Amino acid sequence: MEPLVTFADLFPNGIWRYAAGGALIGLGTAAIYLGTAIPAGASTFFESTLSYVSDVPRFNRAKYVASRDWRVAFTLSIVAGAAIYAFAFGDFGWTTSVSWPRLFVGGVLVGVGTRIGKGCTSGHGICGVGSVAPTSLVNVATFLGVAIVTAQLMQAAGVSP
Amino acid sequence: MPLIVVGGLVFGFGLGLSHMARPEVVLDFLQFEDFGLLFVLGVGSVVAGTAFAVGVHVLDRAPLTGRPYARRLKSFDRNVLTGGVIFGVGWGISGICPGAAYASVGVGNYPILLAIAGMFLGAYAQGLWRARTDDAAAATPTSD
């Protein structure tokens, strides 16, 4: 009897690169945490970097100003780490075909949403879920569910890519 | 700082290898065409979670900062849901989140800079709006 859904249907690109990539994401987070006790998320970078150029008190809170230098270093290292991957695997120069209005509008909403919601995919998703923090689990379930509905609606509306 | 750099390099390499830096792969996941991203989030949070558990239960203070180890806990309020919904719509539209966007720059995906500009704009607008509403709340006499 044929199974209804096969493994290959669910994972057309296999799983090793996803699992290995996830392990490295976790490992990078773990190394920083074990050395510094800082749960490193990616999205606080926005406020902490805005504190260089904005006088708005909200961006100049002590926790943002104190962390802004290492957050810039962290972000540039992420860029560099991905570049090393890209050159090692001959992937450099790949560009997305997702249209620019989607990138921009999506980016604005992501910027607003992570700041209101106290974290992003790495802050809540990796560090928060890794901490088994109820707030993070709720946030991740919310954004995953909403993102799935949004993406499916866009697909149904024929927006591609 | 060197540890932050090494951690960032590994983190970014992982984002590249996992293809999270490609919005198309994220959208394929959200559209149920490739469930591989479950392994990224799953394995990533288990590995990080192991470090968090070891830090909290076995170790005392971080060698480099002297900070005590603690779980990443944030207070729960309605903003967590509101923010999650807005973030979810943005992620579903674009297939991009902050860390993956930085990594995407690293693979040479320059159109992503527009998404990052959008994120900064969104974070800036949210900060301004929040500052204004906080001021308004502070200016209102609450008790006497």
- Transcribe B40-86 into DSSP letters: HHHHHHHHHHHHHHHHHHT--B-TTT-PBP--------HHHHHHHHH
Q: What is the pTM of this model?
A: 0.93
Q: How far lies B35's CA from each of A10, B55, B86, B99, B116, in Å?
A: 6, 31, 23, 20, 25
Pairwise CB contact (< 8 Å): B108 & A29: no
Tell me: pLDDT of A7 over 90: no
Tell me: pLDDT of B141 over 70: no
- Per-chain mean pLDDT for chain B: 92
With contacts defined as CB-CB under 8 Å, which chain A residues touch B137? Answer: none
Nearest of A105, A131, A53, A101 to residue B48 by alpha carbon: A131
The rounded distance, in Å, linking the Cα atoms of A13 and B48 is: 24
Interface test with B, best of A7, A121, A132, A160 (most B CBs within 10 A): A121
| Cβ–Cβ < 8 Å for B97, A155 | no
Shortest CA gap B138–chain A (Å): 14
Dump pLDDT digits (tens) for B66-108: 999 999 999 999 999 999 999 999 999 999 999 999 999 999 9
Tell me: ipTM over 0.90. Answer: yes
Dump pLDDT digits (tens) for A112-129: 999 999 998 999 999 999
Pairwise CB contact (< 8 Å): A142 & B108: no
Of B19, B46, B51, Cβ closest to residue A33: B51
| Cβ–Cβ < 8 Å for A94, B23 | no
Pairwise CB contact (< 8 Å): A34 & B59: yes
